[in-house]
Structure 1
Amino acid sequence: MKTKIIKVHPEDNVAVALADLWQGEVLSIDDIEVEVFNDVAAKHKISLVDLDEGDKIFMYGVLVGKATVPIKKGGVLTVDNVKHQAEQAHKKTETTGWTVPDISKWKNRTFNGYHRPDGQVGTKNVWLFFPLVFCENRNIELLKEVFEKELSFRKPSREQLLLRKLIQGENTTESLQIEEEESEIFDNIEVKFITHQGGCGGIRQDSASLARLLAGYVNNPNVAGATVLSLGCQNLQIDIFKKALERINFDNRKPVLLFEQQQMGTLDEMMSKIISDSYAAIKEANNITRKPAPLSKLKLGLECGGSDGFSGISANPALGYASDLLSALGGSPILSEFPELCGIEQELINRCVSDDLAERFLELTRAFEQSAIDAGSGFDMNPSPGNIKDGLITDAMKSAGAAKKGGTSPIQDVLDYGDYVTKPGLNLLCTPGNDVESTTAMVGAGANVVVFTTGLGTPTGNPVAPVVKVSSNSTLARRMPDIIDLDAGGVIKAEKTIEQMGEEILEFIIKVANGEETTKADALNQDDFIPWKRGVSL
């Protein structure tokens, strides 16, 4: 490690501790000496100047907070001496230029994907089961048990094997091996099941929003077809779902099997019909094989969660560079989590390719923030206890680092929750900052791969799209190797540049898209799905 602190932007008046710092330690940065005023844990920030009460604090070149009490030069920033503050965004004031990265080594590259009738290309081939209303969750679970057991879609987990040995009287956990089951009946398709708590009981707008999300999942290029269960009397009627699907793709040619329990007699009759029809459709979908496709067919979800003080200087900017490479190749990166864009809205507004898009982003952001305020909260309450413990003490500080996932490319479209990506280049999608809600929404918007950066670790996955985990630090990668796919800690240790790590991320994405690499989340069968409930219950 060449230095123990780093100043991210020339205009910053704070630095990030790359290692633990000790009181009295003297450090040099930008030809000035800083004596550490008190012990500082790695990932936290120290002031490079004497700050008076009310003075502004800058990091990543933007306002991220203000001092609530005097802070000595070399002093650590905490929730006790710093308060959230961010610049207010206004209309588009300029058009930000973009230096297009060199894409020569990827220009003629392809990935082997599943081609759909509408021209989209999947990185997986999934048959999806889901309900329109929570009343059908039990039936979905019954179908899951039947299909996974009889079609050998899921090997027994380590935990299941452990329980099996304990039942048999073996009290050892040593040498647990995944036993070989009988060979799978289908080798070219996955069957996935999702449940939710919506579809009825809330306001009608919630059901309409859920319909758009589920329609997006059916339209996602990774989905070959779907089995959909309805009770019959719920708010989210079959007709509403059909219209939502037509809105996204008026010429949908994927098989969608719809079953309404209140019109089908007994449960046994209904389940027999669902199983026989779905089996025939899955058998047909298994005939779809991988074929070459250009990298422009990749729609990449950009996610972060369990972030730490290193996320914004290693994993996130590296993913941002991969995002820029994909944008230049004609692909579609998706940046979401609007509460985690707080404080850098003006930069994003100026990156929008038109005034209309800039205004749409501003309107969506303001409406979202106002809804949080009306509920007695606000974007300033976004950092989690884990974020704060590891150095992200204000929302603006967290946001400035989180936004690095979006790179520097122009913003080609701005989408509300439930909208679907149709334009190449960087897309903004209005979602919460919650990891699973955001990931769920990006896949519903068409993402066929998601890259998820983390500093603290999270098992989050998705039933439809592979989720690649990138750690911001090597300690996490060593501690939780079962959930981390790539380690960006080399950037912190000055062993790799941001650009080198970004290229490594893109290469891994291509391997995942090819089916050559299985993400750790997929290996763990981590199928998380949480719709965003924006309204109240009635």
Structure 2
Amino acid sequence: MQHKLLKVHPADNVIVALQNFQPGEQVDFEGQTYNLPIGVGVKHKFVTEDLQTGDSVIMYGVLVGKATQPIKRGEPITTFNLKHDADQYGIEKKQPYTWHQPDVSAWHNRTFMGYHRADGMVGTANYWLVVPLVFCENRNILILKDAFERELGYAQSEIYREQVHEMLQLYKVGEIDRVHKMEAFLDPSMVRTLDEPQVKRPFSNIDGIKFLTHEMGCGGTRQDSEALCGLFAGFINNPNVAGVTVLSLGCQHTQTSMLVDEVRRRNPKFNKPMLIFEQQDGTEYAMLTNAIRETFLGLIEANKLERKPAPLSSLTIGLKCGGSDGFSGLSANPAIGHLSDILVTLGAKTVLAEFPELNGVEQELINRSVSDEKALKFIHLMQDYSAKAEAVGSGFDMNPSPGNIRDGLITDAIKSAGAAKKGGTAPVADVLNYTEPATVPGLNLLCTPGNDVEATTGMAGSGTNIILFTTGLGTPTGNPICPVVKISTNTALLRRMPDVIDFDSGPIIEGEETIEQNAEELLEYVIRLASGEVKTKAQQLGQDDFIPWKRGVSL
């Protein structure tokens, strides 16, 4: 009988179960027979040799943990017998690195239909932003959101409101039993209905008006205010954004002058409309009336821009994972890693974030850095981040969530080694601190937390115009200005959550496709998405997540 097993790297002393095995089963793999005394769940790993307390566990060819008690051959690794551990790293250990570029001849002349900006960047979408410099303006932002979205056709479907209305009518006539019997399940095939405009959209070349809210801007540290201005400056400069309306109270830490300076510092050629309104200059009514008028006029101008062909080298693609499982590092992550290598070879930019999820593979990334300067910056950011976490009694080893652990990611090093596969094998062209713009073609490392929304928010702030997001457990995460493509690591997830998942890498696990084949299919989808031919499920659901990182400890 052919058992579904996988050894990721020749040096590994664990084998991954691609199916469930019952206690007492015998399995054959690469000429060896293993007795599984207590069974092994799908996505989990069992050891290939007897281990003693303190012995190393190797996966992906790197140290991922140390045994805390003896583990017999064929027994699974668990949180009870394994603790996180990772190899030390440093610039003194840097080794020469040779990269073998993939064959990209099939993609050389491919283009996408994008929005060409005056500064030379190309957007995959055309959004108008409305942002508050301080939380005091959140209410006014929501007032503008209701007014613009309803009248211009960008509001979400009324389906759920209609469900409540129907239940209310039944309640009024005393038919509570009928409410209990109402079918609560919404057919996933109706997802597109959720995105249908309530009125015909008059601005056909504007993909949406995005209204952001947050809880920052005053009362925190000046560093937080500066970081917030830097983040907004990144969003405003993002090639997917046509213009911005800014609401300010007037007295807050995040002054409008700080925002303008940050925008200009990132892009001296900046020439997009930036409309700024301060409430303390007069009445709320006057401010909102002026904001509505000027924003509407800005939309008229932004709508004049049309999609035109652009080379794939104009793309900036974010690489992210969340709700990860034991298959993430085996299917979806290496698939988008190969896609990244293709785009890097073509001259595009890719951005790998989540520094807590690079724990254990630092030396590999140091070796891949194009210069000692880049490597040292990466080391500094990693060590500084780790030290801040440890200073408050936390650490990168606390990164895996209960869901991660339940589905096979026992230590942070196991999770990280699989997460790093999203970066492919290309050299590290640049290393970015939070909110720094990605300007160098190639693979960029961006310092963000692993937190899904803080990371995707940071990526958009650094200029990504599409984010590839792998998930094994499922998450609805989206972004206001960057389409987020949800890629399932296993086909069971696609079947369970078809209203969330855009693309399936499960065929890799099933042996139906290679990593390369799956990556190339995904790239075709990305080109269609970049051209506005399709929408992600997160876009259809109106999933516009935005959480600034306050630079405290967030893993």
TM range (shorter): over 0.9
2:29 is aligned with 1:29 = yes
> 2:273: which partner in 1?
255
> 1:98: which partner in 2?
99
TM-align CA RMSD: 1.5
**1:482 CA displacement:** 0.3
**1:535 CA displacement:** 4.7
2:421 is aligned with 1:404 = yes
SS in 2 for 1:320: helix
**1:534 CA displacement:** 1.4
How many matched pairs?
A: 535
> 1:218: which partner in 2?
236
Write out aligned runs for 1:318-329 (5 A): 318-329=335-346
CA distance in 1, matches of 2:163, 2:307: 36
**1:156 CA displacement:** 1.4
2:317 is aligned with 1:317 = no
CA distance in 1, matches of 2:254, 2:506: 46
CA distance in 2, matches of 1:534, 1:361: 17
Q: What are the Cα deviations for residues 453-508 of structure 1, in whole angstroms up to 9, with x where unaligned?
A: 00000000000010000000011010000000011111111001111111111111
CA contact (8 A) 1:203 1:535 kept: no
SS in 2 for 1:183: coil
**1:29 CA displacement:** 1.8
Equivalent AA in structure 1 for residue 58 of structure 2:
F
Q: Structure 1: state its 5+ residue gaps.
A: none
- After superposing the two structures, state which structure 1 stretch, 99-108 or 149-158, moved more: 149-158
> 1:236: which partner in 2?
254
CA contact (8 A) 2:151 2:199 kept: no
CA distance in 1, matches of 2:333, 2:3: 20
Q: What are the Cα deviations for residues 123-159 of structure 1, in whole angstroms up to 9, with x where unaligned?
A: 1100000111111111101000100111111241432
CA contact (8 A) 1:206 1:535 kept: no
CA contact (8 A) 2:153 2:197 kept: no
Equivalent AA in structure 1 for residue 524 of structure 2:
E
Write out aligned runs for 1:48-127 (5 A): 48-91=48-91, 93-127=94-128
Equivalent AA in structure 1 for residue 510 of structure 2:
K
Equivalent AA in structure 1 for residue 526 of structure 2:
I
CA distance in 1, matches of 2:45, 2:186: 44
**1:165 CA displacement:** 2.9
CA distance in 2, matches of 1:65, 1:184: 55
Q: What are the Cα deviations for residues 57-87 of structure 1, in whole angstroms up to 9, with x where unaligned?
A: 0000000001000001000110000000000
> 2:460: which partner in 1?
443
CA distance in 1, matches of 2:456, 2:76: 34
Q: Structure 2: state its 5+ residue gaps.
A: 171-177
> 1:19: which partner in 2?
19
2:470 is aligned with 1:469 = no
SS in 1 for 2:329: helix
| TM-score, normalised relative to structure 2 | 0.94
CA contact (8 A) 1:337 1:438 kept: yes
SS in 2 for 1:364: helix
Q: What are the Cα deviations for residues 387-433 of structure 1, in whole angstroms up to 9, with x where unaligned?
A: 00101010000000000000000111000001000010000000001
Of 216, 222, 225, the residue aligned with 1:198 is 216
Of 173, 178, 183, the residue aligned with 2:200 is 183
Q: What are the Cα deviations for residues 305-364 of structure 1, in whole angstroms up to 9, with x where unaligned?
A: 000000000110011000100100111010010000000000000000001000000000
CA distance in 1, matches of 2:151, 2:272: 25
> 2:150: which partner in 1?
149
> 1:45: which partner in 2?
45
> 1:208: which partner in 2?
226
> 2:550: which partner in 1?
533
**1:373 CA displacement:** 0.4
> 2:386: which partner in 1?
369
CA distance in 2, matches of 1:157, 1:463: 20
**1:2 CA displacement:** 5.5
**1:449 CA displacement:** 0.2
Equivalent AA in structure 2 for residue 248 of structure 1:
R
> 1:521: which partner in 2?
538
Equivalent AA in structure 1 for residue 379 of structure 2:
L
Change (3 A) 1:165 1:221: same
CA distance in 2, matches of 1:442, 1:180: 28
**1:35 CA displacement:** 1.1
> 1:430: which partner in 2?
447
| TM-score, normalised relative to structure 1 | 0.97
